[in-house]
Each structure stands twice: as structure tokens, then as C-alpha cells.
Amino acid sequence: MSLLIDRGGPIADPWVRVQRDEPLPDGPAIVDPDRLAGLDHAPLGVHLPNTADAAALASEFSRLALISIDFPAFNDGRGFSIARRLRELGYTGRLRAAGPVIADQFAYLLECGFDEVEIPDALAARQPAEHWLAAIARAGHAYQRGRTGARASILDARSADHG
């Protein structure tokens, strides 16, 4: 089991992650990428390993309501770049970070284009939703531009100051 959190707090997870050979359920289903071709199902989601090439998925964006990116460990940062690439390639559906990411990364995840995190229960027991909300509440400003998310851009704020 797992806990799903977005920037508003814990949310219910309508999605079912379908294992390799299982039949698809009626509702929202997340499948592996090799099962996408020719699959007629809605709403449809896909779970990507963090070695996936975001560009290879671009032709599927229109029928994907969710992309979940695997985080095998919180300190394996590849998923951040995959998320950025997906957004830059024009993906506008929901983006999920799935794995043992930690609350201190929440602001960065949101800024890279993620909407939600799915964390294992054992981690949620140590880091409940309040910790995640507190982490983005105290995140303050960021120096980078061209991203939306938890932190406002210092460079943009300075430009506004100077008119």
C-alpha cells in the first residue's frame, strides 16, 4: 500500500497499477510502457522506469491521463530530468513520482513538473502528509526561472522590482 500526496495534502488514488500480465480493470489503469501499443483503454496511465526516454513517448501524450515515474531511491535524481523533459515536450496530463522520495524534495518535484507523489506506507508513517505540506510552506524562493511550483523565482521578483 501507499500514500498519495499532492500540494493540497493526501488524496485518494483512483488509479490501479496493473502488473505485467494482469487483465485491465474497468477504471483508471496504469500499465507498463511495452503494453501501450494498440491498447484501447481510458483513462490510461503509464509507469516509466527512470531510464526511459521521454521523447519516445511523445506520440502517446494525447491518450495518457497520467505518467508515473519510478524513483528506486530518493537520491537517484534521474526522474527529475525525465519530468522536465516530458513537460518541455508538451505533456500536460498528470505526472506522478512513485517511490521512496522524501518530504524535503517535494518543492523540487513540483518545480520539475510533478503533480503528486506516491510513497510507500512505511515512509508515510515516518513522514506523514503534514511534513510534506510543511516542507513546501517553508521552501521560500528559488533562483531558477522558467518553472512553476512551490517556490517563486528570485530573478523574476527582482525584475518586477526594477519594473
Partner 1 sequence: MYRYDEFDAGFVRARVAEFRDQVGRRLAGSLTEDEFKPLRLMNGLYLQLHAYMLRVAIPYGTLSSRQMRMLAEIAERWDRGYGHFTTRQNIQFNWPKLRDVPDILDALASVEMHAIQTSGNCIRNTTSDPLAGVAPDEIEDPRVTCELIRQWSSLHPEFTFLGRKFKIAVSAAEEDRAAVATHDIGLYIVRNDAGEVGYRVLVGGGQGRTPMLAKELRAFLPKADLLPYLEAALRVYNLHGRRDNKFKARIKILVHELGIEEYRRQVEEEFARLDRAAIAAPEAEVARIAAYFAPAPLPARPAEDAGFERALKADPAFAAWVGQNTHPHRVPGYRAVTVSLKPVGGVPGDATAEQMRVLADLAEAHSGAELRVTHEQNIVLPSVGLGDLPKVFRGLAGVGLDAPNRGLVTDIIACPGLDYCALATARSIPVAQAISRRFGDPRRQAEIGPLAIKISGCINACGHHHVGHIGILGIDKAGVESYQITLGGHAGADASLGERTGPGFAFDEVPGVIETLVDRYLELRTSRRETFLQTYRRVGMEPFREALYEPAH
Chain residues binding partner 1 by CB under 8 A are 74-78, 80-82, 84-85, 88-89, 102, 104-105, 107-109, 111-112, 126-127, 131, 138-147, 149, 154-155, 157-159, 162
Query: Smallest gap, in angstroms, from Cβ of residue 117 to partner 1?
Result: 14
Query: At its nearest, how many Å lie between partner 1 and the CB of residue 131?
Result: 7
User: Cβ 44 to partner 1, closest distance in Å?
Assistant: 25
Counts for the chain of helices (H) and strands (E), in that order? 5, 10
If the CB atoms of residues 18 and 117 are measured against partner 1, the closer one turns out to be: 117
According to DSSP, residue 100 is labeled S
Non-local CB neighbours of 120 within 8 Å, separated by 6+ positions: 2, 99, 100
CA dist 98 and 71 (Å) reads 6
Nearer to partner 1, 14 or 72 (CB): 72
Per DSSP, the three-state class of 29 is strand
C-beta of 154: minimal distance to partner 1 in Å? 4
Q: Closest CB to partner 1 among 30 and 112?
A: 112
Cα separation of 133 and 68, whole Å?
21
Cell of 130: 503534514
Name the DSSP letter for residue 89.
T
Nearer to partner 1 (CB atom), residue 41 or residue 147:
147
Cα 19 from Cα 153, distance rounded (Å) = 40
Contact present, 67 and 45 (Cβ < 8 Å): yes
Cβ proximity to partner 1, 15 vs 106, nearer residue: 106
Q: How far is the CB of 31 from partner 1 (least distance, A)?
A: 23
